[in-house]
Each structure stands twice: as C-alpha cells, then as structure tokens.
Amino acid sequence: MTEDEPENLSETFERVPSTAAERVVEGRPSRAEIIDYWVDRFGVPKDTFDGATFWEKGGGRIWVLNYELSGPISIEALGLPILRTRQEFWKPTTDAVRRFGAEATENVIHLEEPAARAFLAGEKQELPWDGDWGYLIVTHDIAGAADPIGVGRYTYGTLQSMLPKGRRREFEEGEGISK
C-alpha cells in the first residue's frame, strides 16, 4: 500500500461502500455484501437492515447504525458491532446474533438446557450437527420460544462457544434453572 492509497483509520468510523464496485479502501466489505452475508448464511429477512447504515472502524470491524449519517466520524462508538470481516471466514458478533438472529432460519443450532448452560459458560462440547461447519447461531428455549444466546464455531463434531469472556456466565445453584 502506498501513501496515497486510502486505508482504514483505527479511531474513525467510515461508511462502507454500497457495492463492491464503489469500493475505495482495499478489503472493505460493501453494504450489499454485508446484507447478503446475513441473508444467505442465516436466512434473516431481507429487510432486516432497511434504513440502517454500515461502518468500519479499524480493519474489519463492522458496525450497524439505524440512522443515516455520512461520516467519517471520530467518536467512541457508533451503533452496534455486528461483524468481523478481515479473516477468511466472516464472524458475526454475540450481540448482533442476539439482536438480529431471532428470525434466522439457516445455520441455527438449538440446544437443550444443559448444553445451553455449558455454551453460556464458554465451553467446547461434542454435539451432532449435519449442517455446514463454521459459525452458527446458537439458540435455546426461553419463555416458550427459541432465542439466540450467541455464536458457536462448529468443526469436527464439536461446538466451540465463541462468547467473549465478559459475556460468559455460570449461574449459581438455584439461579437460572429453566424448566
């Protein structure tokens, strides 16, 4: 990369381009690619992100804001972090699958309560799964319906909890006992 080429500014939020054809910063995903990822991989409704804008801060950290601003913007946070895109496989964030994953229909693995609690504690567990490997939305039943807990990575018969340390929980005896 030469000095004249635009690059990511680690402290600044910059709008992503609408499509790959309008890309200026190398490696930056487009709005269309981000929406396609959620729709193709997880089957969320196509209108999930209508009216929202997407932003990159630092290499590959994508944020969604349900408001129209033009930027670039240098502030502490802008919207919700939803995706990391600068590895081979894009990875959705825990908070994003909780926020946008409730209506997902693809690559969703549903856990019974003991497995859900092990996942919440950050554990890796052996589980059957006949779908795609890679990042899955992990759900369990709460108040009579499925809701996402977070992201798991499924490979070779095991589901690794991707919950960040600060989001892991181990309920004490007598707490968090879902029937």
CB-nearer residue toward other proteins: 123 or 134: 123
State the minimum distance, in angstroms, from the CB of residue 148 to other proteins: 8
Q: Name the DSSP letter for residue 4.
A: T
Residue 133 Cβ vs other proteins, minimum distance, rounded to whole Å: 26
List the strands of the sheet with 145-155, edge to edge: 108-110, 134-142, 145-155, 158-161, 124-126
d(CA 146, CA 144) in angstroms, rounded, equals: 7
Beta pairing partners, 141? 146
Number of Cβ within 10 Å of residue 140's Cβ equals: 19
Question: Minimum distance between the CB of residue 114 and other proteins, rounded to whole angstroms?
Answer: 14
Q: Is the CB of 39 or the CB of 134 nearer to other proteins?
A: 39
Binding interface with other proteins (CB under 8 A): 51-52, 64-67, 69-71, 73-81, 95, 98-99, 120, 142-144, 147-149, 166-167, 169, 171-172, 174-179
CA distance 1 to 164: 33
How does DSSP classify residue 166?
G
* d(C-alpha 46, C-alpha 8), whole Å: 28
Q: Please, what is the minimum distance in Å from the beta carbon of residue 118 to other proteins?
A: 14
Helix (H) or strand (E) holding 107: none
Is the Cβ of residue 118 or residue 134 nearer to other proteins in the bound state? 118
- Min separation Cβ 6 and other proteins, Å: 19
Q: Which is nearer to other proteins, 52 or 136 (CB)?
A: 52
CB of 157 or CB of 176, closer to other proteins = 176
